[in-house]
Structure 1
Amino acid sequence: MKKISYLLTLTIICILFFTTNSFAQDFKKLDVSPMDAAAYPSSHNEFYKLVKVTYSRPQLRGRTIESLTPNGKVWRTGANEASEITFFSHVLFGDKKVKAGTYSLFTIPGEKEWTIILNYDTDMWGAYSYDEANDVARVKVPVTEGKESLEAFSIAFDENATMYLAWDTLRIAVPIKKQ
C-alpha cells in the first residue's frame, strides 16, 4: 500500500511539474529599438580594435528626426540606455585628445551642425541624468545629407575610422584617429 501511495504521489508531482508553465521561461517581445554595435576595424581578422559603439536603434515610423531629437537639447544618441563608446587606444576624437576607456555618447542636434559629446557617466538610461560637468570632450561637426533614407538610426565606420551617425537622410561624420 505504501508503494502504491508513493508511486501515485510521485506520478502526480511529475504530471504537475511537466504540465504547468510556472517553470517556463518568459521571453520579452522584440524591442522596437533593438541594440546594435559598430566597431572599427569591423573585420574579425584585425589584430586590434580601435573603437566600438553600443547603441539602440530607434526608428522613424512616420515621425520626423526633429520631433525625436529636438535641436539644442541633449540626446542619448539612440534609444533606451545612453549609447556607449569604447576606445581601446588613446585617440583624437575630432580634434580632442581622449584616453582609452568607455564613455557615454551624447549629441546636441542643430540645424547646420551637431555637437558630439563624450561623458564619463556610463550605464545610464537616456539623457535624463546627463551632467555636463562630467563631459570628457565636445566636438562640433557639420550636418550633411545622404542620398538614401534610413528608417532606423545607424552608426557605422569607414576605412579611416570616421564614425558616421545616420538617420533618414541626415549624416554626421566624426573623425577618429589613433594617437
Structure 2
Amino acid sequence: MKKAILSIAIFTIALISSNNTFAQEFAKLDVSPMDAAAYPVNWRNADKLVKVIYSRPQLKGRSLDKLAPKDKVWRTGANEAAEITFYKNVTFGDKKVKAGTYTLFTIPTDGEWTVILSNQKNVWGSYFYDKGEDVVRVTAEVSKNKESVEAFSIAFDGEEEDATMYMAWGETIVSLPVKG
C-alpha cells in the first residue's frame, strides 16, 4: 500500500512539474510592431552603411501633433526610442559621425525637424532624455506627402555611399542625407 501511495505521489509531482514546463505565457502582438530599415536597401548586400531599428505607431484617427508633439523631444517611433547604427564613419545631415550605435530622437516643428543622435542606450520613450548625451543635432527638411501614411515609417534611398533617410507619418515626410 505504501508503494502505491508513493508511486501516486511521485506521478502527481511529475505531472504537475511537466505541466508547469509548458505554462509559459507569451505576449500578444504589439500594436506598434518593431521594424528595421537599412541602406543599401537590398537584403543581399551585407555591406550596410546604416540601419535603424524602431517601432511603428499608427495614427488611428489621431493627429501627428498629438503623438509627436511640436517643439518637444520625441522618441522617433513608439515604445523604446529608435536606435540607429552606422557601420562606417558618415556625414549625417551636415555633421561628421563616427561608426557606432546611437539613440535617434527628433524634435518636430512646422518647417523643419531637429534630428538628434544620442549616446543614451536602451531608452524607453523620451521621458529620460538627457541633452548632455547628445552627439549631434542636425536639421532635416520637411515636405508634404500626397497620401497619408498610417504607420510611422523609415526608409532609405540613394546611390553608392550617398543615401537619404526618409521618415514619414501622416502627410509629413522628413528627409536627411547620410553619406559614407
Normalising by structure 2, we get a TM-score of 0.90
Q: Which residue of 2 aligns with 1:133?
A: 132
Which whole-Å CA distance do the structure 2 matches of 1:135 and 1:12 have between them? 58
CA RMSD of aligned residues (A): 1.7
Measured at CA, do residues 16 and 132 of structure 1 come closer, stay the same or move farther in structure 2, by a change above 3 Å? closer
Which whole-Å CA distance do the structure 2 matches of 1:13 and 1:142 have between them? 65
Q: 1:170 aligns with which of 169, 172, 175?
A: 172
Q: Which residue of 2 aligns with 1:157?
A: 156
Which whole-Å CA distance do the structure 1 matches of 2:46 and 2:16 have between them? 53
Deviates more, 1:93-102 or 1:40-49: 40-49
1:22 to partner: Cα distance: 7.3
| Partner amino acid, structure 1, of 2:13 | I
1:53 to partner: Cα distance: 0.5
Which whole-Å CA distance do the structure 2 matches of 1:174 and 1:140 have between them? 8
1:6 to partner: Cα distance: 3.5
Q: Which residue of 1 aligns with 2:108?
A: 109
What's the % identity of the aligned pairs? 58
1:52 to partner: Cα distance: 0.6
Q: Where do 5+ consecutive residues of structure 1 fail to align?
A: none
SS of the residue 1:9 aligns to: helix
Q: Where do 5+ consecutive residues of structure 2 fail to align?
A: none
After the TM superposition, which segments of 4 or more aligned residues of structure 1 sit over 6 Å from their partners?
none
Tell me the number of residue pairs that the alignment of Structure 1 and Structure 2 aligns.
Answer: 177
Q: How does 1:30-109 map to 2 (within 5 A)?
A: 30-109=29-108
Deviates more, 1:142-151 or 1:55-64: 142-151
